[in-house]
Amino acid sequence: MMRYFVGMETEKRQLGSSVVSSSKLWPLCMALFCIIVWGLSYAVIRASVQEIPPMSLACSRFVLASALLWPFVRSQWRPIARQDWLPLLALGLTGVTIYFAFENYGLKYTTASHGALIIATIPLCTELVAARRRRQGLAWQTVLAACVALAGVFVLVRPGADAEASLLGDLLMLGAVVSWVCYSFLVEKTSGRYPNLQVTQIIMLIGLLTFLPGAIGEMVFSPYDWPSAAAWGGVVFLGVLCSALGYHFWNQAIPALGVTVTCNLLYALPLVGVAGGVLLLGEQLTTGIGLGAALILGGVIWGHRSSRKARVTS
């Protein structure tokens, strides 16, 4: 989930018109490509992690993604200052290692629909923490929006809400949310000092190296059968489309479309995630999932807009 914030900090240009000109068409297509593959990644991880253990899946994914990103990064590589290595290590741990450990283990025990909707609370959680860090009071609309989104999460995770999901898996997905919120603030330490793709490549390598001991441990202490072609296809999907091409396309789309447009597109991610779970995995679209989705997305969108309005008027 680096896709929510990587690249957003360096470009603040916004579109002056809602009409997409021909020069914006290709960036829009790249952004929509990212939304589709990232949304479907929940179903792909859910299916693949049943055959490839979580650490091994993450390690394989980032081996492939790092190798594919290197040709794009090599020409813009800048030497890393000594004082920046610790912040970059923290980025790799929170944005890759801890985040994907929680996500992969979470999707082993819960559904793609639940996972996508819980992850959708990241922007609102980030806004709440940001207000706290600024020692700024929250507008009543933002507080109410957070309560609405929290009610949606409760609808999902309450006992007996969904026979296919589990409380353990949902709680692990909430751990991924916390990890990503931490990551989003650590980004400030290196924002603008290095090219986005270089930072992405470095934190992927850090994640790969930290996943490696766990992957080896899974092979030694919990041997598993050779994965099917479908599971390996999931690794390729995650490594090539979601990580390598996804990050590369997203970083190109942001400066062309502006932060506002790309942020708004992200609201479609959980909807694609739920659709992927239903269509690809045969997950049941229950009343609880529908109500939870409406509450979470409604609360997140309302909270984002009310917070942005409060910052403009302050």
**What predicted TM-score, i.e. pTM, was given to this entire model?**
0.83
Q: Is the pLDDT of residue 12 over 60?
A: no
What pLDDT score was predicted for residue 149? 85
Over range 101-124, report the average pLDDT: 92
Over range 61-71, report the average pLDDT: 91
Residue keyed to tokens 């809602």: 18
Q: Is the pLDDT of residue 1 over 90?
A: no
How many CA atoms within 13 Å lie on the side-chain side of 198? 14
What average pLDDT does the structure give for the chain?
A: 83
What pLDDT score was predicted for residue 194? 85
Q: Is the pLDDT of residue 176 over 90?
A: yes
Tell me which of 96 and 145 has the higher pLDDT: 96
What pLDDT score was predicted for residue 264? 73
Query: Please, which pLDDT band fits residue 215 given cuts at 50, 70 and 90?
Result: very high
Asked if 303 contacts 126 with a C-beta cutoff of 8 angstroms, the reply is no
Query: Please, which pLDDT band fits residue 63 given cuts at 50, 70 and 90?
Result: very high
How far from each other are the two terminal CA atoms of the chain, in whole angstroms? 31
Of these ranges, 121-130, 256-265, 269-278, the one predicted with the greatest mean pLDDT is: 269-278
Tell me which of 124 and 240 has the higher pLDDT: 240
What pLDDT score was predicted for residue 175? 95
